[in-house]
Every structure is written in C-alpha cells, then in structure tokens.
Structure 1
C-alpha cells in the first residue's frame, strides 16, 4: 500500500480487504492537517485536559507523551496522540495568538513575513482610496518611527518630492475639508507657511529663502523678542538723555535707568550679555529689575569712583528684584537717601554687586542696605564701601541667601546701624567669611534667630563690625 506524496494519505489498493480501514485512516489524516488549527505552539508536553481533535505544535525540548517529537504536530484522536511532520507550504492558525504561520524552508514563520505588498494600485485604511488619493487613512493618530526591528539606521525621514519648482510639496491643514494652513514648498522652492480664512485665498505668514536661508515675515511680526548676536550696550544719561531715544549710543542715551532695564527685559540675550552704562549724575528713581531671557545684564556706573553715579530715590527701594528670574550685576554706583528703605532688595532672582558704595539711608530698624529673602541670592563679587548707616547693613529672611566671601569692605566715618550690622532669620543663610573690614561701625554686630544661619567659618563673635555684642536666639546659629 502506498501513500500520497504531500499529506501521506494511505491509498486503497486493488482487491484490498477492509478498505474502510484505509479510507478512515486517510480521513483522520485529513482532519488533522487540512485547515490546521493549533491551540498552542509554545508547549513541550501536554498540559492536560485535551480532547479529541486538539492539535499542537510541539516545542523543544519535547517531553512526556510528546518526547522525541520536537517540531512535529501533535493531534489527539481516540484518546491517543498522533504526530505529523510538517512540510513546506503547510499553513496553520495558532488560536491562542490569533496568528497565521506557514512552514517554509524547513521552519515555521509568521505568515505576515511572506506578504509583499508591492505595486498596489491603492490602499485604504479605515476608508476608501481614490484615483488621486491612492493612499487614504482614517485614524486618530498616525505613527512613523525609526526601524528598531531590522534594525535600521535610527533615522526617520519623510520625503515629499515634487516634479518642478512650480509644483507643490507640502502639508495642508484643513477644517471640515477646508484648508486653513499650508506648510511646505508651494509654487516655488522657498519654504513657506500660509494661512487662509476661507480655504481659497492664502496669506504668507512666514517664508525662508531656499538659497540664503534668510527668513522673512511678509505679513508682519508681533510678540517676538529680538535675539542678540553679540553684547548689547544701552546708555543712560540723566542730564542729556531722553527715554524716547533708542539708548544704543551715548548721543541717543536714555534718561533713566528704568527705561534701559525695560529695554533689556524685552530682548532675548541668546547667551550674550546686556550692559547698561550709566553716566555720572544723580538718579532719583526706584529701579525695578525685571525678568531676563537667556543671559545676564550688567548695570555699571563708575567702578573707580562709584560716588559719581548716585542712586537716590525719595523713598522705597534703590534696586529691587521682585518675582523675577535672571541674574543682574550692579557695579560702580552709590545708593543713598534718607527715605530709602532698602538699597538693594531681592525676593527672587540673583543680584551680584561689586565696587558699590552704600551711603546713609533711613535709620529705622527695618531699613537695610541689603535684603535677600524668598530664595533670592545676593552676592558680593568684589570689594565695596559702606559710607553711611542704616537699620542694618545685611539682612536675610525667608530662605534668602547672602554671599560675601573674601572681600575687602571699607567702612567710612564709622556708620551707625540702629538695629544690628547683620540679621539672619527665617531659615535664611549668610556666608560671610574671610572678609576684611577697614574702619569701624557703631551698633550691635549681629542677630541670628528663627533658624537664621550666619557662617563666618569660625571667625568668632567679634569678627563682624560693630561696637557691641551680637545675639543668637530662637534656633539661630552663628558659626
């Protein structure tokens, strides 16, 4: 008796006795292999509970009732297992994975790997493709990603290619199938962004020359900061300046420091530095420092003779930073005036000073030359002078930080501090060590309370200027 070449079905021979046995055997083999349905392809032995008609692809290493049958098809019939060797071209459905597999080249592979979708006339996913829209997709999202399976190069590039300069290559953004914006190469080789109110008439908002890379805004530009390509200096001259000027030269100087501050706050430093150069004179203004974008600003008067550039408002704060970000540098100016409550104040941002002269201001207990609070930081970058008194010279509170390290501080005329020379409270921190003080001061040296911390690096209780002892109270600390 011989078998068929592919499915090995037994053939009935002439004059064969019990032909029904051969016939039934062929039917069983057909039942096992035709429209093959595998319950699982990951088991190496029966899990138990199988019923007649169940089929499995035996995984290696086969064991138990399937021992020695690695890679074969196990088929349960009449309570016993039969095994079949797969052959190229055999297709099976794996039920637990809802996947089609095919045996080719002596191995099983997922059917999807054999589908070559090449030269399709059209493809519609969730919708119907048309003659002009031969690829059509309806989906909440469309994802393109680099090839991490093969793997590929790691790049992901989408190419839109047009025939000639006069044709279009770009993206159209529509609402209710009516175009509202176009982005790409439309009618020429310059990259453009166009917008429309009706889908028919378009206005070019932005274009980049394909030859030079120069950007232009044909419809105008609003709300964009100028980005600096180099250091920018604004000039201030209280005697000859005018806040209507551009401030970019000494001849076209602004009249006030505040006008220059506002000009700096309106630009993007782009990693550069802005400088405000203040001419000699007296400036009766409260200077409100503002947010800075991508760079610092230096306000400088005369570092050799700071007394020639005087900041003297009638009341309030000399230089103040409230609710800002950025770093401001103050150099070469004197701040004085009986009505001033704070010479330099910050509750945010960073203020760094050098070669400043702190003259006499209001002498009441809550008037200070320097006050840092609210996580702000005020720092001395260089030496400076104290030529007048105040309620206190340094004051930190509410997590403010003060750093005056290794600086020479000149006290002129024994300035009096009616409260203390320095006060730290409210979990604030003063790092004031390795400084030298030339001259003397009148008043108590320090007060540290409310978890305020004055760090002098062990310089001792008489290190700071003053004519009487200091106080540490209420979890304050002086080290």
Structure 2
C-alpha cells in the first residue's frame, strides 16, 4: 500500500499535506528568531531575508504583512529599516503566536531612519499582538500621530525613539490598548499631546530619561487621559523644557507621577476635568 502524507485540518477541511510540507492556508511556524530587511533600493518581490538590494523589501508594510502571515510560535521578528526618509504609513497587523515584532532603524541612532508621513499615522492599527519600536525618528504633517493603536490585546513598547514635530499626537492609544516605554528616548518636536489615552487604556513609564530639545509646544497637554484611562509616568528625568499644559485628566482617568504639580514638562498648570485625577 502506498504511504500517505500527513492529514491536516485547514479551514475545516481535512487535506493531505503535499510533498515539501507546504499547503495553502497553513502558516509557516518559526523555529528560530528571524530578521527582515527594508531598504530604499529593495523590492517587495524579494524575500526580505538579506540586507542587499536583491534581498531586502522596499516597504515597511511588506515586512509587517510578511510577519503577520507567519506563526511566530515562541520567537521574535526584527524588521531592520535602512537609512532614508520613509513617507508611507504602515498598518500594523494582528500577530499569531507568542513572539513580538520589533521595527528598528539602523546604526543605533535616531537620525538615519526617519518615518515622516503626511495626513497619516506613521504606524497605526487595530490588531492583536506586541510591537516594539527603536532607533527611529517619527514625525507627521497636516494630520496623524506617530503611533496610533486601538483595541484590547495590544502592547506597544518603545525605546531610543526621537519624536519629532507631529500634527496629531506622538502616542495615541484607545479602546483598551497598552503602551510602555522600555528605556530612554527623545522629543525634538511638539504635538497635540506627547501621550494621549482614551477609553480604558494604560500607559507606563518608569525610571528613564526623556531628552527634550527645541522647546516643543503641546497644544492640548503633554499627557492627556480621558474615559477610564491610567497614565503612570514616574521616576523620570526630563532633560530640557516644553510649553503647554502639563496634563489633562477627565472622566475617571488618572495621571500618576508621584512628582507634584510641576513634574511634567510644560509651562501651564495641569487640568482635572469631570472626575479626572492627578497624583
């Protein structure tokens, strides 16, 4: 009797796994960490696995889409974005597995890889999973946030980011999402808010340095928390100054600093509105 290939369940149908262990509808399961490369001279028809013009992707979106098509299992993916100014917005996708996706710039600095969008978020989406950002400069014009995420099951972390001049918010969080700083970073431009949270969200910052240059202005408040949100911003060292309202909390939201009313950057007193708290 001829041997049979293993049977698998794909979208409710039992099918025989073809030779080569590939089957439409079955995600590749990572067995090790993986790096994808994005370069200005790349091509989205490449594999993304080599840091050459013939191997790298041309867009961050292609790298994110590729990561989202995989089963990460227990492993992480790094998307290494090359030197240049990238003007296309990136939609973050739901991830499968326990791993996270890191989007990082090259050369361990915040000047060589710039994400600069017009009328769009640099990175945004409603998804499930963990994304980490590092060694990037983020900025927008006309409208849009540097990072805008919404939905429960989201954790976004960042370190060594340079938040430049932004039409919307540097970090905009809504509908149950969570964000967390994992190290020090820079602010070189103003925004409506540095961090703005709405509708049962949480933002964490504990024990790092924020270097502020160019005396940026925040038109709403440096930190905004509304509708059952918590922003925990404690043990920070601020190197530099900013203008605008220090915080704005409302509708059963809290801003926790353990640092007094003048702790956060700004030149105007914070505002508590309709059940907002500050401590």
**Partner of residue 115 from structure 2, selected from 311, 324, 337:** 311
Partner of 2:70: 267
**Partner of residue 87 from structure 2, selected from 284, 288, 292:** 284
**Partner of residue 463 from structure 1, selected from 263, 269, 273:** 263
Distance 1:188 1:387, change over 3 A: same
SS of equivalent to 2:62: helix
Contact 1:373 1:399 survives alignment (8 Å): yes
**Partner of residue 421 from structure 1, selected from 218, 222, 230:** 222
Partner of 2:162: 357
Partner of 1:439: 240
How high is the TM-score relative to the length of structure 1? 0.54
Partner of 1:11: none
**Partner of residue 234 from structure 1, selected from 16, 33, 36:** 36
Once residues 452 and 463 of structure 1 are traced to their aligned partners in structure 2, the CA distance between those partners, rounded to angstroms, is: 18
- Equivalent runs, 1:64-463 vs 2, <5 Å: 187=1, 193=7, 205-206=15-16, 216-217=18-19, 221-238=23-40, 240-251=41-52, 252-294=55-97, 295-302=99-106, 304-322=108-126, 324-348=127-151, 349-362=154-167, 367-456=168-257, 458-463=258-263
Partner of 1:476: 276
Distance 1:218 1:404, change over 3 A: closer
SS of equivalent to 2:16: strand
Once residues 438 and 419 of structure 1 are traced to their aligned partners in structure 2, the CA distance between those partners, rounded to angstroms, is: 21
How high is the TM-score relative to the length of structure 2? 0.91
Once residues 430 and 461 of structure 1 are traced to their aligned partners in structure 2, the CA distance between those partners, rounded to angstroms, is: 15
Pairwise CA RMSD of aligned residues?
2.0
The Cα offsets for residues 366-417 of structure 1, whole Å up to 9 and x where unpaired, read as: x211111111001111100000001111111101111111110000111011
Once residues 446 and 193 of structure 1 are traced to their aligned partners in structure 2, the CA distance between those partners, rounded to angstroms, is: 58
Contact 2:35 2:78 survives alignment (8 Å): yes
Contact 1:399 1:427 survives alignment (8 Å): yes
Larger Rg: 1
Worse-superposed segment, 431-440 or 304-313: 304-313
Number of aligned positions between the proteins: 269
SS of equivalent to 1:258: helix
Once residues 219 and 249 of structure 1 are traced to their aligned partners in structure 2, the CA distance between those partners, rounded to angstroms, is: 24
Contact 2:198 2:229 survives alignment (8 Å): yes
Once residues 455 and 231 of structure 1 are traced to their aligned partners in structure 2, the CA distance between those partners, rounded to angstroms, is: 37
Once residues 176 and 25 of structure 2 are traced to their aligned partners in structure 1, the CA distance between those partners, rounded to angstroms, is: 30
Once residues 258 and 329 of structure 1 are traced to their aligned partners in structure 2, the CA distance between those partners, rounded to angstroms, is: 15
Once residues 325 and 433 of structure 1 are traced to their aligned partners in structure 2, the CA distance between those partners, rounded to angstroms, is: 27
Contact 1:428 1:452 survives alignment (8 Å): yes
Q: What is the Cα deviation at residue 340 of structure 1?
A: 3.9
Once residues 203 and 20 of structure 2 are traced to their aligned partners in structure 1, the CA distance between those partners, rounded to angstroms, is: 50
Contact 1:303 1:331 survives alignment (8 Å): no
- Structure with more of its chain in strand, by fraction: 2
SS of equivalent to 1:262: helix
Once residues 407 and 321 of structure 1 are traced to their aligned partners in structure 2, the CA distance between those partners, rounded to angstroms, is: 27
SS of equivalent to 1:432: strand
Contact 1:303 1:355 survives alignment (8 Å): no
Once residues 233 and 78 of structure 2 are traced to their aligned partners in structure 1, the CA distance between those partners, rounded to angstroms, is: 28
The structure showing larger relative contact order (alpha-carbon pairs under 8 Å, at least 6 residues apart) is 2
Q: What is the Cα deviation at residue 220 of structure 1?
A: 6.4
Once residues 206 and 21 of structure 2 are traced to their aligned partners in structure 1, the CA distance between those partners, rounded to angstroms, is: 54
